[in-house]
Structure 1
């Protein structure tokens, strides 16, 4: 009979796993501490081990290496208090999977079935991958949504397959890419990031593949492209949904063969890199888009990670806000009062974490108070805080909102109010156009009545839509 060991100090969790494993035909032993679990592992063999991180006495992560001395059974790690470092440490120690609490029974059952079915075929000496330091992590959060993201990052860091990160603008897709690289076997080599929206079609190929001497007018010397620079490391391409079809063909060929041709070259070069790409275009839209090749999509999205919008983990806002405040303010003891935190958690944040960061920094700059209250926050976001009469016509409502904001800005003697108002309106128009066109910049530019290159320049300047 298949045997399982559950190590957890919560009786309800142990009973849940005992019931699940019993239905799967497993004989289950339970231990309330890592020390008791190690005693059982020394006495008998198990086909699967379920291990909590927070335990009385020795914690689960510390126990994993000792478990490995006596058992090669797949270890499923679970925790209600993990962060990215916890998830990565569990995977580094050889965890079969990482389950954030609370978990869905269907998912747990699937993980247990996979662990049991693969137990016999598991290599006898699985070793942890080599990774760099974990000290620089910038992703924070204790919500279930972030726990799932940490798990995905930890698992993705074990592989070198191409990876596609999706998520709304401002959710932190580049931070996810950085974390995956930092915890991967490639961490000692460079992470090269390219924001494709900043490159015209004429520059795109030269930037990525490089060029030879004389490849075009003004090419007086050869230049290595970013694919060559990322050799041994990771190449991060942001705004991948904006790439032209002919470029997708060339990049697909490089992904499959490792070979590429610099502009003007007659012989190929080689580069061993991992590609991580990101887009704020929803996957279903990207797959059905006429300007995105299906074969390129499936090769690119070998592994997929979706970064949750801030509204789906609003419980992380207090920690995020305090972190941004401490990063901006030299006085580490500055903080928000309870009413301010409540106000922050109630905002919609269409710009996600980037918007929250801007609000915090604006409030911290405008206020000299040690404890920052709602007044400083509302002053920093007065345009967004203006309430509009629901029955008003759009143009008159806009004029009324503008009038209220202008009156407040002038009364408060805000610096450069004309420029600020122009930037706010322009950013909102661009965001609305991109949302209406599902991220298609050419169509958004047409709606706005400007050239696509002009839109690209405005996005770079305002850091919108990235």
Structure 2
């Protein structure tokens, strides 16, 4: 008799026969195997459940054989939960598509129709890799990693901390503004931890990752039978956060019609599930974040002025790393300690030359870029002291300047993206981190500039 492993597997395919066959096979080996026909449910499933392996079809009914839709959903999964282990499968695969899938962040690639032994071996290997990688949400490295924002002696960050200390104990709505990679989500968690609600849930919602058709269901919940595949009542994110804090990230990406629905909930302090006419009272502390200029969007009638007034009782501006130079080396040392211990490497210090370059470099990707650069350096460095060449490559060195393209913004953006892709050897995930973009945003720019 086969011993079931504790792993949780999710299969996503719009072919009922494929779902049935894969589930029957994998159920013999893994304790929990969930399946879903509708890819629009992916954001909800990935956000609310922790899967060891996600088996994702590359071609749905909207796109029969190019794999484009599969890559889009892969992007969405990794944007929501970067530590996800995803295996792609398709009936139209080839070597080129397999290489693209791995570069885009997939763990492996399986062709349909599959051989049972091959599929099982691939899923087993992905499961083992997920377990060995320590990518579970509660790994020991997570708290240290999430505390990196609290390192800040610069005047800019002291001002942020002073504001947080004054407002954390209140229930005032907070709007956190800042560039990608500055740590807006971590600051939101810090505010929650300092509040009187810290024993209640902190629910984080990436609004940029929720399909418009699922917005109400995700945030407000739905009842059984409200729509196709609504097989049971489900609480929305506001209801899950009741008594605690809800963090709405990327709020600048919400469309005007959905802004109106969100405003109604915030004004009335209750939600109505999709398919129901019963109001559910909610008691939440609201924290929002965006890297966009909301007053400018409001002036252009792209963001509701009344919603802006509602969410920004207190505004906190997180400065980019280039404006807090005093914090760069302490942050780098923090990451050095984390990754030295994680990878069991002998690296323990920075050379004076590296410290000089760390402080001179502009860090367009902010804390996220610095973290990635130090992790890579720790892995690859042959010595005990990191040197400039360990952290900076030709494409991101302090002295390396882009070709003179004048001040045309599109030319400058194309040049920076090209450099990042070269630096990361075409790896979409790593290049997106370097640029401080989501994977989906980087894909759009690559297509725009034909890179």
By the TM > 0.5 criterion, same fold?
Answer: yes
Is 1:252 matched up with 2:266? no
Distance 1:293 1:337, change over 3 A: same
**d(CA) in 1 for partners of 2:219, 2:250:** 14
Equivalent positions of 1:103-252 (< 5 A) are 137-138=147-148, 139-252=150-263
Match of residue 324 from structure 1: 335
Consecutive unaligned residues of structure 2, counting only runs of 5 or more, are 1-142
Q: Secondary structure at the match of 1:305?
A: strand
Equivalent positions of 1:260-279 (< 5 A) are 260-279=271-290
Q: Secondary structure at the match of 2:205?
A: strand
Greater RCO between the two (CA within 8 Å, min separation 6)? Answer: 2
Deviation at residue 427 of structure 1 after TM alignment: 7.4
Structure with max Cα Rg: 1
Distance 1:315 1:332, change over 3 A: farther
Q: Secondary structure at the match of 1:325?
A: helix
TM-score by length of 1: 0.57
Assess if the C-alpha contact under 8 Å between 1:359 and 1:380 holds in 2: no
Match of residue 367 from structure 2: 353
Assess if the C-alpha contact under 8 Å between 2:417 and 2:435 holds in 1: no
How far does the alpha carbon of each residue in 1:159-205 deviate from its partner, in whole angstroms, 9 at most, with x for none? 11211110111111011101100000000001000111111101111
**d(CA) in 2 for partners of 1:263, 1:319:** 48
Match of residue 50 from structure 1: none
Match of residue 393 from structure 2: 379
**d(CA) in 2 for partners of 1:359, 1:295:** 41
Deviation at residue 398 of structure 1 after TM alignment: 11
Match of residue 68 from structure 1: none
Assess if the C-alpha contact under 8 Å between 2:361 and 2:398 holds in 1: no
Q: Secondary structure at the match of 1:269?
A: strand
Q: Secondary structure at the match of 2:197?
A: coil
Equivalent positions of 1:6-155 (< 5 A) are 137-138=147-148, 139-155=150-166
Q: Secondary structure at the match of 2:286?
A: strand
Q: Tell me how large the CA RMSD over aligned residues is.
A: 3.9
Consecutive unaligned residues of structure 1, counting only runs of 5 or more, are 1-133, 435-440, 451-466
Q: How many residues align?
A: 300
How far does the alpha carbon of each residue in 1:354-385 deviate from its partner, in whole angstroms, 9 at most, with x for none? 11111111111111311111121123865886
Q: Return the match for 1:365 from 379, 387, 399.
A: 379
**d(CA) in 1 for partners of 2:172, 2:411:** 53
